[in-house]
Structure 1
Amino acid sequence: MSAEDHPMEGAELPNGTIQKASLQPEDEDTASDDVSYGDASDSDPQDLALEQLKRRGLLPTGCCYDDRMKLHMNADFSSDSHHPEDPRRIHEIFKAFKVAGLVYTGPETELPRIIKECPTRYMWRIPARPATREEICLAHSSGHLTWVEQLAGLSTAELRELTKRYDQGRESLYVGSMSYPAALLSAGGAIDTCRNVVAGQVKNAFAVIRPPGHHAEYDAPMGFCFFNNVPVAVRVCQQDYADICRKVLILDWDVHHGNGIQNIFYEDPNVLYISIHVYQNGMFYPGKPPNPETPDGGIENCGAGIGLGKNINIGWHDQGMGDGEYMAAFQKIVMPIAKEFNPDLVVISAGFDAADGDELGGCFVTPPCYAHMTHMLMSLADGKVAVCLEGGYNLSAISNSAVAVARTLMGEPPPKMTIPKLNKEAARTLAKVQAHQAPYWECMRPGVVDVPSIRSLHASRLHDVIRNAQRQVLQEKHNMIPLYIQREHIYKSFENQVLVTPLLYSSRRILVILHDPPQLLAQTDAIDSSLEPHNAWVVDGVTQYIDWAISENFGVMDINVSAYIAKDEDMDSFNPAHREKAFQEQIQQLVCYLWDNFLQLYDTDEIFLMGIGDAYLGVKVLLINRDCKAKISGIVNYVTGNLRPVKSDIDPDLSLWYKETSRVYVASDHACWSDKDLTKKVQKRRFGTVIRSREIGLNKMMQEHAKEAQKWILGRVSSFSRGDTTEDEDEAAKSGV
């Protein structure tokens, strides 16, 4: 170990190496009360000096590092590239601390003067020492400790064979002759880092340690980890400082789920574990555990027993997450819950494999984002924050990220950053996390509906209420009735969703409207986020087209296509719109059923289609899946989302016919108008006759272009079809059938 890697020593105040004696918990009978501002006559001068440092914010940031932890190396060495868990990881981080001027590297003779003049100028060194058997067994079984211990006595050949067996699959572990002592140092470093923070010897601290720990289970090593450093340290602090360290928050921002930490504290009400990780529906490492009864990193796993609600998994749907997603997770989930929990100590399981540049993690979190997350956590627990290194395998990325965290711990304000837009799927993930945690945290309840409770009160979903109201209005106004869908697998989904005018089968011309549900607009109460009916509006732009069509002697088939088909078993408070594939399958079943059983059987060649919003996908699937050109006279679409190409391998003329037979009004702010190449692309035949609207939003577009579209439709009606109504139609209108 070089001279500059030694701990600081020789300060007049307690600014040097932390002495073991100063960390021993006091007996209850001999422990003195906190030093008050008014009475300090009986206090030790050194205690007074320490209190003054605390009040003035002059306590330093601690740093634990030991070169001996680099001795844990892969026994199965070869000419191949280094294992991701490279001994150089901690060396590069500590080297970056030196380059950034965060740790002292000058002559030891100058150290006392520097510390006296500016106690917080450098990080104070916390020596790493091996954890004891008793400490390890606070979080691990004795059998597991014995297994790791016996590695030191194995031959090189045995170690290499063991590595080949373990360094694959979920175990993903390599071993060496020095793995055991390095793992003890790593755990011991985490322990004394946390103890120094709890005891108030430093304001916060960073443990640059390896091997990492958060995958290690109670009775097994796993994922580069032997002993789970953070749980061991937390249990020691709770045991030694029971009066001042009862509740602990562990925030794990490693890109992989900390399965070991979760399972060790899964039923502990005094440890709140929050993990932000890539989940990929359980496919991302560490994946699903062999025992299906063991919880994984899914957001639905919230703890058990008296620890229910103290486990929070923010599992991203995929890699590629960055500053926007992590800052949103902190602002929406982490910090509100952490403040409500009100911990005595915050421990960060600081893996930097979500950092921009780490190929294994595949995410894009920047050093400024790590700084901001650290800064937010420093507002908790009177600033008592201990950072313990976990993963992170790009040497440059982990060094830059660790320096950003260390600077923030030392008191530098986080650098200015521009937060990118939040990924839509990530936003849905955060909403689901909020819903799962709402039963356990007051701060998560606003905006979350207790679906099982309200279902027991015979509640109805609003989209069903609105559609029933539409049905009643259209029935009273135009005698429209629901069309019975006889196929059982789609009947429940579209009950009352298809309304038709009487005697539709005998109409000379028919307008088929496929549309999204009416738009809902509402203003919630600023105090409690409640919503009163008088502060909500329903905007239905479709009715004007139905009124017009009936006035022009059209038969009308009105098809309401919901973005989500609710099922009786749905208990989530928030359900996103169906994914594209599921939505297309659902609407294809419906439109093909309606065509096969009704429209193609009617004695008319004057059918007009109108597609509005996402439901206009139904126009595309009908044209592609059924030979219907001969009976369709015109198509009008209003589009704010994806433009749907109509192209068939069976009918090469379909795209040209669609171009000549359609008018596709596209919102003014649509992405296709933002790029010349895209604008040129959408003019191709397969997209129809695309027209740029001056308006934004479906209802405004429908109102703006109503007369124009209606005139265009009438212009395509044959002269024969423009005649009077039939006797049957007149009789039906008079009788109200």
Structure 2
Amino acid sequence: MSSPELPREGSLVSNGIRPPSTSHLSDGDPPQRTVMKKESSGTPRYAPLPYASSRSGLVYDVRMRFHVEPIPKDSDMHPEDPRRIYEVYNELCEAGLVDDPTNPDLAGQYLLLRIPARHATESEILLEKTDWDEEKLFSVGETMDSVYLSVNTPGCALLAAGGAIEAARAVMNGQVKNSMAVIRPPGHHAEHDYPMGFCFFNNVPVAARAIQKEYGDRARKIFILDWDVHHGNGVQNIFYEDPNVLYISLHVSQNGAFYPAGDEKDHLHCGAGPGMGKNVNIPWKTSGMGDGDYLYAFQEIVMPIAQDFDPDMVFVCAGFDAAEGDMIGGCHVTPAGYAHMTHMLMSLADGKVVVCMEGGYNLRSIAVSALAVTRTLMGEPPERLQSTQPSPTGVDTVKQVLQQQSYFWPCLYPKNPAMRLKKAKSERIHDLIRDWQAMQLFKNYDMTTLFIARNRISRSFENQVLATTNYPQPRPLLLTFHDPPELTASPDPRTSFLDAHNTYMTDGVKSYIDWAVNQGFAIIDVNIPKHLTDTDQDDKDHKDPELKESRAKEALLLATYLWENYIELNDSTHIFILGVGAAYNAIIELLKSNDRVSSRVTKLFFFVSEQSLHSCRSATYDNLSMWYYDHSLVFVANNHHIWDYTNGNNNGTGSNGMARKPKKRFGALVRSDFDALEDMLAERLDHVSGLMANLTQGWEEPDPSEAEPEDVAMGKEFDEREEIEQPVSPVKSPVRLPPVGNFALSPKKQR
């Protein structure tokens, strides 16, 4: 098929444009293909983007600095310092973002539009407060240690609330595309009937209610994102039953101990009534969270839920006390981290974002963090992040929240399977695994369950302590204390189903038991479950592991019971203890609580991956730390944080550049080449077994054919008893449990 003939030079084509001349081409040159362009009409087809000319707004009023301590002391300034907002404002001025009359030379080309602040009216405050009694409200503050009062406090608090309202109104009216409100005193702790936590009026809820009332359906759905390191209890309580306000808070919880104390900031508080699912708490279990944790939470929870909610306006309770350098928060969010979070929020609600300052008490940290947020609001791209890797505890928290919130949000996967499992006949796999282990150990090594007196029966408590029948005999004993074996699988991303063929159980402790049994050792194997299956009713819901403190306490009770009723009374020639995972802490506590244990133990072998190292010091046994160092080998994961502070890290120095030796109270530390417990156990099997073999060289297993007949032995024992003229009652140890005592691993109390 021949190619279409090119139009002749000088002829018109369909779009009215003459093709270019081809006279310059020689006869052998191929014709050039030409892209035809339409002639411009002089007017653009579409209207220009509004953001090309729209500016960001700034609320700042020097009068808010008049809320001060009655008698401030330079050596002991209150954390909620008037200089907080000045430092932020001054940072914006020095960056050339504000046309400040006192520093006209600093003003740059692109400026923030100043939005005047005003005092909130009584009717606006009543949108958030149940009643209005200024005298009563501020007299309450005099009896509280979390707020201070001065003659200007009421006016400053009203000015902060009014400033938040005006920042939101300017965005809704189209005067600015978004706004930054540098205001104080903060507000997100203030309850509807009393102040607390440096807060008097809850500024963001006041502004949100005022906007909803003034603009109706245009501002019906409000999204409030709170990244202050403290939970915004006041915001949560105000909107807890409101279906039109989505509140998401990222905060440090420390299992309820962090301010404000209590469990209302946990992931289980999801709203009530019509507001069910509109309250999302992301409670960090510890301080020290960084950019990777916050961005991971944004990507997995915050943004999917916010996009599903589709708000009309976004408010940010912008506390900067999670910033790097803030001693109260103790976290490590960088200015770039705050900028990236702001950038993601700007994709919501057509860009209508109002950032209202809350906490933050390191003056330099809040200044640079607020500047990064403001630059992003103005359209600058965020700076690059130094680290995006979330911490293990951060990942655990996010997955925990996702599991809970998947009930209410179709966008979140995988779904919590509890509802489906309640209708089906099912059992928890950890119970089945221990049953199977008990069956295999009995089949291969004749290991049976040791009796443990307890005051309740739980399926999870069955078969937790297994022993070979020869454990009382004069032979080496291997006592293993370990966490449950690990399961490796790839769950379905939607249903959470597991393919049994592609699910694997790894039990590194079994290799040590195999070796010890082949050497003629006695074995006592102790599995410490992470939680119990309730004997009365199992709701099939996701269960979090027991708190470290409660689990360690119960494990110590079990270790003490075993030692005083089974191990101390036997004739073992050597006692080796193998501790794996968090369960090893029970042995440390046993050593510290019972001085007699160290006199019987030959060697300790511990494997630690993600758990904290525990020191072994005793108030009654001065040499315990040195004994522990000489008789232990503690194999620690390659990525454990202990290596950041000792001379075992990659560069041989600690965090301050100085080499440090590991403390002897932590034992003789050995750095593993691996991070996972199962890999560490496999790596050190030959090492540990070789040490135990060397330490038991003088012992040989008795020949069964030379053993004394049982009836003869019993006769000798009877004769020896007859020679005793008067029986002597044994003296009970003050810490010894009775042979039939009360021990149980109790499930968490339901609140």
Instruction: Give the TM bin, normalised by the shorter chain.
Output: 0.7 to 0.9
Contact 1:333/1:430 (<8 A) preserved:
yes
1:722 is matched by which residue type in structure 2?
E
The 2-side partners of 1:403 and 1:627 are apart by 62
Report the 3-state secondary structure (helix = DSSP H, G, I; strand = E; otherwise coil) of the residue aligned with 1:558: strand
Q: Compute the displacement of 1:406 (Å).
A: 1.5
Q: Compute the displacement of 1:591 (Å).
A: 3.1
Q: For 1:544-623, list aligned pairs within 5 A.
A: 544-564=511-531, 573-576=542-545, 578-579=547-548, 581-617=549-585, 619-620=587-588
The 1-side partners of 2:599 and 2:364 are apart by 65
Task: State the partner residue of 1:29.
Answer: none
Q: Does residue 519 in structure 1 map to residue 486 in structure 2?
A: yes
Q: Does residue 369 in structure 1 map to residue 345 in structure 2?
A: no
| Higher deviation after alignment, 231-240 or 379-388 | 231-240
Task: State the partner residue of 1:101.
Answer: 96
The 2-side partners of 1:629 and 1:710 are apart by 21
Q: Does residue 312 in structure 1 map to residue 286 in structure 2?
A: no
Work out the number of aligned pairs and report it. Answer: 650
Task: State the partner residue of 2:141.
Answer: 166
The 2-side partners of 1:382 and 1:493 are apart by 53
Q: Compute the displacement of 1:303 (Å).
A: 1.9
Task: State the partner residue of 1:201.
Answer: 175
Task: State the partner residue of 2:311.
Answer: 343
Task: State the partner residue of 2:704.
Answer: 725
The 2-side partners of 1:504 and 1:57 are apart by 81
1:103 is matched by which residue type in structure 2?
V
Task: State the partner residue of 1:687.
Answer: 667
Contact 1:484/1:495 (<8 A) preserved:
no
Aligned pair partner of 1:499 in 452, 466, 469: 466
Q: Compute the displacement of 1:300 (Å).
A: 3.2
2:235 is matched by which residue type in structure 1?
I
Aligned pair partner of 1:76 in 70, 80, 104: 70
1:140 is matched by which residue type in structure 2?
K
Write the deviation string for residues 45-101 of structure 1: whole angstroms up to 9, x where unpaired.
xxx99x94545643221223444545x444835676765555554444334333322
Q: More helix by proportion, 1 or 2? A: 1
Q: Compute the displacement of 1:515 (Å).
A: 3.4
Q: For 1:8-19, list aligned pairs within 5 A.
A: none
1:721 is matched by which residue type in structure 2?
E
Q: Compute the displacement of 1:343 (Å).
A: 0.7
| Higher deviation after alignment, 469-478 or 79-88 | 79-88
| Higher deviation after alignment, 559-568 or 300-309 | 559-568
Aligned pair partner of 1:138 in 127, 131, 151: 127
Task: State the partner residue of 2:743.
Answer: none
The runs of 5 or more residues in structure 1 that have no matched partner are 1-47, 149-161, 289-294, 732-737
Report the 3-state secondary structure (helix = DSSP H, G, I; strand = E; otherwise coil) of the residue aligned with 2:295: helix
Q: For 1:56-135, list aligned pairs within 5 A.
A: 57-70=52-65, 72-74=66-68, 76=70, 84-104=79-99, 121-135=110-124
2:97 is matched by which residue type in structure 1?
L
Aligned pair partner of 1:259 in 233, 247, 254: 233
Residues 633 and 211 from structure 1, CA distance in 2 versus in 1: closer, same or farther, beyond 3 angstroms? Answer: closer
Report the 3-state secondary structure (helix = DSSP H, G, I; strand = E; otherwise coil) of the residue aligned with 2:452: coil
The 1-side partners of 2:355 and 2:660 are apart by 54
Q: Compute the displacement of 1:104 (Å).
A: 3.4
Residues 691 and 504 from structure 1, CA distance in 2 versus in 1: closer, same or farther, beyond 3 angstroms? Answer: same
The 2-side partners of 1:663 and 1:362 are apart by 33
TM-score w.r.t. length of structure 2: 0.73
Report the 3-state secondary structure (helix = DSSP H, G, I; strand = E; otherwise coil) of the residue aligned with 1:485: coil
Task: State the partner residue of 2:224.
Answer: 250
The 1-side partners of 2:71 and 2:630 are apart by 69
The 2-side partners of 1:729 and 1:462 are apart by 45
Residues 494 and 377 from structure 1, CA distance in 2 versus in 1: closer, same or farther, beyond 3 angstroms? Answer: same
Task: State the partner residue of 1:734.
Answer: none
Task: State the partner residue of 1:477.
Answer: 444
Residues 616 and 137 from structure 1, CA distance in 2 versus in 1: closer, same or farther, beyond 3 angstroms? Answer: closer
Contact 1:64/1:125 (<8 A) preserved:
yes
Residues 470 and 207 from structure 1, CA distance in 2 versus in 1: closer, same or farther, beyond 3 angstroms? Answer: same
Q: For 1:176-255, list aligned pairs within 5 A.
A: 176=151, 179-255=153-229
Residues 725 and 61 from structure 1, CA distance in 2 versus in 1: closer, same or farther, beyond 3 angstroms? Answer: same
Contact 2:458/2:532 (<8 A) preserved:
no
Report the 3-state secondary structure (helix = DSSP H, G, I; strand = E; otherwise coil) of the residue aligned with 1:244: helix
2:241 is matched by which residue type in structure 1?
E
Q: Compute the displacement of 1:468 (Å).
A: 1.0
Write the deviation string for residues 424-474 of structure 1: whole angstroms up to 9, x where unpaired.
555544444334433222344426453x76366453332221111111222
Contact 1:605/1:630 (<8 A) preserved:
no
1:540 is matched by which residue type in structure 2?
D
Contact 1:207/1:389 (<8 A) preserved:
yes
Q: Compute the displacement of 1:346 (Å).
A: 0.3
The runs of 5 or more residues in structure 2 that have no matched partner are 1-42, 711-751
1:377 is matched by which residue type in structure 2?
L
1:126 is matched by which residue type in structure 2?
I
Contact 1:633/1:717 (<8 A) preserved:
no
Contact 2:271/2:278 (<8 A) preserved:
yes
Q: Compute the displacement of 1:398 (Å).
A: 3.3
Task: State the partner residue of 2:248.
Answer: 274
Write the deviation string for residues 219-269 of structure 1: whole angstroms up to 9, x where unpaired.
444445444332232223222322322111011233443333222222110
The 2-side partners of 1:520 and 1:75 are apart by 57
Contact 2:490/2:498 (<8 A) preserved:
yes
1:233 is matched by which residue type in structure 2?
A
Contact 1:563/1:577 (<8 A) preserved:
yes
Residues 415 and 465 from structure 1, CA distance in 2 versus in 1: closer, same or farther, beyond 3 angstroms? Answer: same
Q: Compute the displacement of 1:173 (Å).
A: 4.2
Report the 3-state secondary structure (helix = DSSP H, G, I; strand = E; otherwise coil) of the residue aligned with 1:242: helix
The 1-side partners of 2:527 and 2:101 are apart by 75
Report the 3-state secondary structure (helix = DSSP H, G, I; strand = E; otherwise coil) of the residue aligned with 2:386: coil
Contact 1:591/1:622 (<8 A) preserved:
yes
Write the deviation string for residues 148-178 of structure 1: whole angstroms up to 9, x where unpaired.
7xxxxxxxxxxxxx77x734526624242x5
Q: Compute the displacement of 1:420 (Å).
A: 6.8
Q: CA RMSD in A?
A: 4.4
Task: State the partner residue of 2:724.
Answer: none
Residues 495 and 199 from structure 1, CA distance in 2 versus in 1: closer, same or farther, beyond 3 angstroms? Answer: same
Q: Does residue 384 in structure 1 map to residue 352 in structure 2?
A: yes
Contact 1:173/1:225 (<8 A) preserved:
no
The 2-side partners of 1:95 and 1:636 are apart by 58
1:64 is matched by which residue type in structure 2?
V
Residues 510 and 250 from structure 1, CA distance in 2 versus in 1: closer, same or farther, beyond 3 angstroms? Answer: closer
TM-score w.r.t. length of structure 1: 0.74
The 1-side partners of 2:332 and 2:639 are apart by 29
Task: State the partner residue of 1:36.
Answer: none
Report the 3-state secondary structure (helix = DSSP H, G, I; strand = E; otherwise coil) of the residue aligned with 1:143: coil
Q: Compute the displacement of 1:345 (Å).
A: 0.6
Report the 3-state secondary structure (helix = DSSP H, G, I; strand = E; otherwise coil) of the residue aligned with 1:241: helix
Residues 173 and 269 from structure 1, CA distance in 2 versus in 1: closer, same or farther, beyond 3 angstroms? Answer: farther
Report the 3-state secondary structure (helix = DSSP H, G, I; strand = E; otherwise coil) of the residue aligned with 1:460: coil
